[in-house]
Structures are given as C-alpha cells and as structure tokens.
Structure 1
Amino acid sequence: MTATNTPTRSTGAERRNTIRTLLGTGAGNAVEWYDWAIYATFSTYLSAQLFSHEDPTSAFLATLAIFAVGFVARPFGGFLFGWIGDRVGRTTSMTLCVALASLGSLAIGLAPSFDQWGAWSSLLLLVARLVQGLAHGGETPNAQAYLSEMAPAEKRGLWASLIYVSGTTGTVIGILLGAILTVTLSTDQMNSFGWRIPFIVGAVLGVVALIQRLQMRESKAFEINKAETAAITFEKKSLFSEFMENRRSALQIIGLTVGFTVVYYVWSVSTPAYAINVLGMSPSDALWPASSPTLPSSR
C-alpha cells in the first residue's frame, strides 16, 4: 500500500521546482531585456560621453550604428548558445547568456569617457554591445525551449508566454528608470554619472538572476532527448539545405514576427531618440510616454 505522505512530498517538491523555474527564467529574461533596452534609452548620453564632441550628429549616428551591430551578433549568438543548449544543457546556456549580458552592461557603465580614452572608449562600447548581442541571440530560443520542456502539457503555451511578459517588463523598467533619473538629477549630473547608474544596476541585477539560474535543473525531456540522440547517428546537413527544406515554415515565422518587431523598435528606440535629438524635447518628456507598456513581440 502506498504511503499517504508520498504524494504530498512530491507535490511540494514539484511546486518548489515550478517556482524556481518560472522565477529563474523570468528574472533572467527580464534582466537581459533591461540590459538591451537601456542602451537605446541612454543613447543620447552615450554619444556625448563615448564619442568625439566635434560632430554631435555623427556621434549619435555612430551610437545607433553600434546598437544595430548588436542585432548582427544575435543570429551568431543563437547558433552558439543553441548548440550549447542542445549539447550541454539549457540551464548552462541560459546562465552564460545572462552573465555575458550583465558583463556587457558593467563594461558600458564603467567605460572611461572619450576625453579620457579617446577612440578606445568607442571601441569598448562596440565590444560590449557585441557581447550583449551574442547573449541576447542565445537567450530567447533557449528560454522558450526550456519553459516548453518544463511545463505541463496543458500549460505549455502559458508558460512559454512568460518570455514576452518578462521581456517587456524588463524593457519598461529600463525606460522608466531613465525617466526617473532625468527628473531627479540635473543635466550636469546626468552627463557626469547619472547615465552610468542603469548599466551598473543591470550588472547587479544580473548577479541576482545568475544565482537563480544556477539553482535551476534540466528538464526531463532534455535528459531523455540527450540520451536518445547519443545513440543515433544523424546525416549531417548544411544550414542552407535545412533552411531550404523548411523554407515555407521559416518564412511564415519571419513574416509573423517582423511587423511587431519593427513597430516595437520604432516606438522604444527611434521615437524617444528623435524627440530628444531632433525635436529638442527634454529627456524626461520623451521617456515618460515611452515607458508605458508596449506591444509584445519577438524583439
């Protein structure tokens, strides 16, 4: 006869594991998107502090160009950390992603100004953004796969949606912090040290998320698939051939996500930057509207 307290212990353990899974994945994802968003939020200050003062317009365009470089790095991050996630483990890959994203924020927050280091400051910003781009490229697919594998079958869609909820939350927090700082600090204080605060905060939050992710365990589905994969010999195919075989599905996914992605970045990046640098609005007036909740997207 089965002991009556066995199901209770199992239920309690599963409940704790569920909380650990949702908190670790959600908090880490929120920190990742916080780190990603604050670069755009404080792009005006980055261009003034880490680039030459001779041509402010060129400096600002260079800052946005480095923001775009992060997008170039994201597919490579998807390949790299996707491979790590499939071979080593989802939690290992996600832990590395949040660590690299926070390391990039710390590097930006502590970067010497252009007056101190010259072009080396701009180069440091570029390297930090490349690191963050790699991390962000690996975060979303690994986190989605992990949540889908950990979730009960009837709640798989609900759990996977946490990625968009936590990601948008992290972005809004970053923009909101920018709005608060521009109200509480003077222009000189923002130019001197205020713009560094959100990046250092991101690094600290990254340590918290890192600790949470170190406590997460791999899904049973991953362990089973890993064991089965080790016993099977696969025919090696190139990435291009895989894409061509699944081009219809791939193009459908791209088409479904590109619209929301463009709208999201126009609102969260282009609009505040345009208002501050072209229309001459104060940073606080431009950032408060942008800190309102935005439409979820794949970003």
Structure 2
Amino acid sequence: MSNTAATEATEASEAKAIHDLTSRQRIFAIVGASSGNLVEWFDFYVYSFCALYFSSAFFPKGDPTAQLLNTAGIFAAGFLMRPIGGWMFGRIADRYGRRNSMMISVLMMCGGSLMIAALPTYETIGNAAPLLLLLARLFQGLSVGGEYGTSATYMSEVAEPGRKGFFASFQYVTLIGGQLAALLVLGILQLILSHDELKAWGWRIPFVVGACAALISLVLRRSLHETTTDHARKTEGAGTVGALLRNHTRAFVTVLGFTAGGSLIFYAFTTYMQKYLVNTAGMSTTTASRVMTVCLLIYMALQPVFGALSDRIGRRTSMIWFGGLAAVCTVPIMTTLGGVQSPVAAGALIVAALAIVSLYTSISGLIKAEMFPVEVRALGVGLSYAVANAIFGGSAEYVALWFKQAGHESYFYWYVSIMCLLALIVAIRMPDPTRHGHLK
C-alpha cells in the first residue's frame, strides 16, 4: 500500500471512530471536557472571592483599600493573559490534539492554585510574595485563556449531530457552575471558621480544593477520544495565526463582532450586577448576593434549554434574536433595576435579561467553532474570543463605574445596547453555520 493510500485509510479510520461514538461515550466526553472548564473557572474566581481575606498577607500593612487594589491589579493581569493563552493553547490543540491541550491547561491551573495555596506571606519573604502571587495568576490567566477555545472546540466536535447546541451549552453550565461553586466553598468556610482564621490560613483551603479538583479532571481528560486526525494536525498552516488571518479573516472578524457584545452584556448582568444592586438600587450586600445567587442558578439551568432551541431554529436565528432583544431591552431593564425596591422584582428583571443573554451564551462556543475549519478551529475560537473578551468583557465593570462616577450612569446602558446592536448586524450578515459551517 502506498504512503498516500495508507494515510487516507488511517484518516478514514480515525474519522469513523469519532462518528461511531455511542451516545454514552459522547456524554462522557462532554462531562470530561466540561469538568475541566468548571475547575478552571472555580480556581479563577476563588481568587476574586477570597481577596478580602488574603490581600493583607501579600502587601505591606496599611490601607486595606490599597491592599485590595493591588490584589485586583494582579487579578486584572491574569485577565489580560487570556489572549496569549488563547493563541498558545489554540496552537497546541490544532497541531498536537485537543486532548493534549486540555490536559496541559487544567494541569497549569492546578499548579497555579497549589502555588497560591502554599505561598509565603509578605512578612516572610518581603516583596517576593506579591511577585510570586503575580506569577501564579499569570499561569492561571494563560490556562483560562486557553481553556475556553479548546474545550468549546472539543465539545462542538464530539457532540451528537443534530443536538450540538444542547450538548455544547454545557460549557456555560460549567462556567457559571464554577462561579457558584467558588461562592459555595467560601460560604461553607465562613460558617466553619472565624474571620481571623480565614485571614490567617483559611483562605488557602479553596485553592487546595481547586487544585485537587483539577487533578480529578486531568484523569477524566486522559481517557477522552481525540477528535482531530493526524492529517489535519499536520496540514500546512495548522494552528498558525498567519493561516487563520490570511484564509479566514471574515470568520475571525465576525466572531470578534458578536463576542464583543456578548461578553459585555454577560459581565454586565453577572459579575457587575451585584455591585449595581448595592450602589445604584440601594440593596444591602447580603440581599444583593442572595438575589444574584438565585439568578445565576436559574441562568445555569437555562443554558441547555436555549442550546436545544438553537438545534431547532438555527444558530444564526438565535444570534439575531439575541442581538435584537439585547439592543432593545438593555436600557429599560437596567433603568428599572436602578430604582427597584423589591428583591423579587429585581430577580425577575435580571432573569429576563439573562434569558436574552442565554440565546448567545448557550451556543457561544459552538457557533464560533462552526465558523472555522478543523486545522485552525481551536486557535480561531480561542484567540478571537480572548481578544474580544479581554477588551470588552474585562473592562465592563470599570466602564460602568467610570460612567457612574462621572454622573452619567445611563451612558453605560446605551454602550451595552450599541455593542449588542453591532452583534445583531454581524449576525444578520453571517451565513447560518448549521447550513454552511465547517461542523456538521
């Protein structure tokens, strides 16, 4: 048999192996891939939630606000590493396989969490303490930046044809679940330990929990089926930015366009909303926290529902509905929320907004993956998402607070609406990936 014939036979065999996966095997693959996604986001958000307790351990004693600002600065540095992670892990996934990329990313997150859990304090090693904390966060930022694109790509490829929207929606189920799990672990520790114990050593426990969970995810991911073939990984230009931008510029710009609006409104109604309820609506911190916890639980449950809906009406239709409703409804919803008194009414309004956002988030990874061919798919998904997310999603809270400080808080509502209008225009102009995309 010639080398060409042997290669074709191998390709056919590898493709058939993925095609012939049973529903049970596909579900296990989705669980394995999404478990790492949950762990990644748990570890990433544990830092933010525990900062109140460990900020004084890594920075000179003095103004608590200054300590928190320094800690927040390191958090932002991790956020800005995402585009680099999207490029690095996208390249690994396209050239060396999705499974290898996902294993490395979750192992890197595990290492970052263990490093933070074991770090000596400022009193012990001086300025080296915050520098090592920054290094650990940079590792975690790289990991999260690479996790999204690779796991989204893998889940899209392994999902059952005709039900890809439903299965791929579990990426955001676990993303939201990671945030909720971080809140749950911290809440349990607050019940068990005193404030002084949490500040002294208790804050280290969630990072240990995250590292152990990452090892479990690593074991699950080792047994996953690879969804790419050897031929695809060796294709000229596989996993390179040059080939991506040269041959798939329109797809890249399209993803940037709707991710900008999608990421912005996601952060506006999730991470920023709790502060908005306190600072603008005048709710207590405890009440706002409870409202958001319930809303996030409902939001998490909505993802498979809207993912399944996209399987019936098409991804492009879902995106058009998202862009249109978000552009029209954001200003009235946020304006009403600013004056609402009832926690129940506030929760209902937020859930309504999150239902609109679900039209996008439930298929966020899938619709991106369907835009790119296999040899640059993970890179295309990861890099475009990370760039738009870092610029628009990462700055959402800062922009909102800046407008509020300037006395023009409503400008932020219009900013979100305009970016969602951009997402609508992009969605109208894009071909329906369920008919013309690279994933079938």
TM-score class, shorter = 0.7 to 0.9
> Relative to 1, partners in 2 of residues 1:207 and 1:285: Cα closer, same or farther, differing over 3 Å?
farther
> Relative to 1, partners in 2 of residues 1:193 and 1:267: Cα closer, same or farther, differing over 3 Å?
farther
Q: Normalising by structure 1, report the TM-score.
A: 0.82
Q: Are the aligned partners of 2:41 and 2:175 in contact in 1 as well (CA < 8 Å)?
A: yes
2:45 counterpart of 1:41: no
Distance 2:46 2:114 in 1: 12
Which of the residues 260, 271, 279 maps onto 2:266? 260
Distance 2:137 2:200 in 1: 21
> Relative to 1, partners in 2 of residues 1:183 and 1:285: Cα closer, same or farther, differing over 3 Å?
farther
> Relative to 1, partners in 2 of residues 1:213 and 1:271: Cα closer, same or farther, differing over 3 Å?
farther
Distance 2:91 2:202 in 1: 39
Secondary structure at the counterpart of residue 146 of structure 2: helix
2:153 counterpart of 1:145: yes
Distance 1:57 1:117 in 2: 22
2:227 counterpart of 1:227: no
> Relative to 1, partners in 2 of residues 1:168 and 1:236: Cα closer, same or farther, differing over 3 Å?
closer
Q: Which residue of 2 aligns with 1:84?
A: 92
Distance 1:82 1:148 in 2: 15
Distance 1:249 1:291 in 2: 30
> Relative to 1, partners in 2 of residues 1:153 and 1:243: Cα closer, same or farther, differing over 3 Å?
closer
Structure 2: 5+ residue stretches without partners: 1-19, 301-360, 365-392, 394-440
Distance 2:249 2:138 in 1: 29
Q: Are the aligned partners of 1:32 and 1:170 in contact in 2 as well (CA < 8 Å)?
A: yes
Q: Which residue of 2 aligns with 1:26?
A: 34
Distance 1:233 1:244 in 2: 14
Distance 2:48 2:231 in 1: 43
Partner deviation per Cα, 1:178-205 (whole Å, 9 max, x = no partner):
1121122111211111111100011111
Q: Are the aligned partners of 2:95 and 2:233 in contact in 1 as well (CA < 8 Å)?
A: no
Distance 1:15 1:239 in 2: 32
Distance 2:50 2:270 in 1: 17
Partner deviation per Cα, 1:88-108 (whole Å, 9 max, x = no partner):
000110111111111111111
Which of the residues 223, 237, 241 maps onto 2:242? 237
Q: Which residue of 2 aligns with 1:52?
A: 60
Distance 1:63 1:236 in 2: 33
Once the two structures are TM-superposed, the CA of residue 19 in structure 1 deviates from its matched residue by 3.6
Partner deviation per Cα, 1:133-159 (whole Å, 9 max, x = no partner):
000001111111101111121011111
Q: Are the aligned partners of 2:58 and 2:130 in contact in 1 as well (CA < 8 Å)?
A: yes
Once the two structures are TM-superposed, the CA of residue 229 in structure 1 deviates from its matched residue by 6.3
Q: Normalising by structure 2, report the TM-score.
A: 0.57
Once the two structures are TM-superposed, the CA of residue 43 in structure 1 deviates from its matched residue by 1.0
> Relative to 1, partners in 2 of residues 1:165 and 1:236: Cα closer, same or farther, differing over 3 Å?
closer
Q: Which residue of 2 aligns with 1:122?
A: 130
After TM superposition, the structure 1 = structure 2 runs for residues 127-276 of structure 1, keeping only pairs within 5 Å, are 127-219=135-227, 222-223=228-229, 226-228=230-232, 230=234, 237=242, 245-246=250-251, 247-267=253-273
Distance 1:264 1:173 in 2: 15
Distance 1:182 1:288 in 2: 15
Distance 1:236 1:287 in 2: 42
Alignment RMSD: 3.2
Once the two structures are TM-superposed, the CA of residue 14 in structure 1 deviates from its matched residue by 2.3
Partner deviation per Cα, 1:80-122 (whole Å, 9 max, x = no partner):
0000000000011011111111111111111111111111111
Paired residue total: 279
Distance 1:15 1:195 in 2: 41
Partner deviation per Cα, 1:234-267 (whole Å, 9 max, x = no partner):
9983777678645355223322332112332214
Partner deviation per Cα, 1:30-50 (whole Å, 9 max, x = no partner):
111100110111011121211
Equivalent position amino acid for 1:227 in 2: H
